[in-house]
Amino acid sequence: MKRCIIKADDYGFTEAISLGILKAYRDGIVRSTAVMVNMPAASASLEWIKEVPGLCLGLHINIVVGRPAADPSVVPGLIDEQGIFHSSKFCRAALAAGQDPVVSKDQALAEVEAQIRRFIALTGRLPEYLEGHAIRSRNLLEAMAELAKRYDLPHLSYLENQDHKLIQRPQRANAIYSLYEQGVEPADYFLQNHSGIADLPLSLVTLHPGYLDRSIYRMSSFTEVRIKDLEAATSPQVKTWFAQQEIELISFRDITKY
């Protein structure tokens, strides 16, 4: 039987996003989610997740929205004059110009470790996997890989030979968002196999399901696609399609080396 991990990013971004992700687990195909512990909604969101122990909970390292978990004096290159992280737009512009927006690996290490420690403080346990939010800075990727090993956390890296504590490496599915721009209906991402997962023995699909509130409109341009992802994740037809294709829905727990 083929197997697939459907993960929902951005848990704790806002309360509305978190509630949407919980629905995508309870009524849909999501089996893993990762929390942004530096966001104000993280504490309440982590209280809610206690009601769903079957949902695998990772840490979504975020350095592009909100305030740092580390002391600002330790990560001056990651923040602006108001003490707020540089935006993903700022970081992507730097990457496009051939520059790493994370100017110091030491600062990346400090912030990633601070977020790991905040996760532990909020939940009383280690994350079930470690991943990053929005950008692929070399310094950030190296910092996450190093700290995944230090804390012995499952980690699927974008860097070669830097995965940690995984029995198997899932293959990433085709991205959904360019298809939305072409007019593809949310459920058809799966039903028409635009994802490609029907042909993969072990796959990973990244979704961003969620409800919308004023907070997310203030902090992100990634808005209406979240409603579409929620529709795809909770579609009865999609759940039936997984059964017909004999694709087992699993989480990061099922590929972790214990």
pLDDT tens column, 190-233:
999 999 999 999 999 999 999 999 999 999 999 999 999 999 99
Q: Is 131 helix (H, G, I), strand (E, B) or coil?
A: strand
Q: Which two tokens stand for residue 3?
A: 């197997």
The answer to whether 140 and 71 have CB atoms below 8 angstroms apart is no
* Residues 136-171 as b or e (16 or more Cβ within 10 Å = b): ebebbbbbbbbbbeebebbbbbeeeebbbbbeeebe
The answer to whether 64 and 34 have CB atoms below 8 angstroms apart is no
Average pLDDT over residues 48-70: 97
Q: How is residue 144 annotated by DSSP?
A: H
d(CA 151, CA 187): 38
Q: Is 251 helix (H, G, I), strand (E, B) or coil?
A: coil
The answer to whether 170 and 47 have CB atoms below 8 angstroms apart is no
Q: How confident is the model at residue 149 (pLDDT cuts 50, 70, 90)?
A: very high
| Predicted local confidence at residue 241, as pLDDT | 98
Q: Which amino acid is at 33?
A: T
The answer to whether 199 and 193 have CB atoms below 8 angstroms apart is yes
116-132 pLDDT, tens per residue?
999 999 999 999 999 99
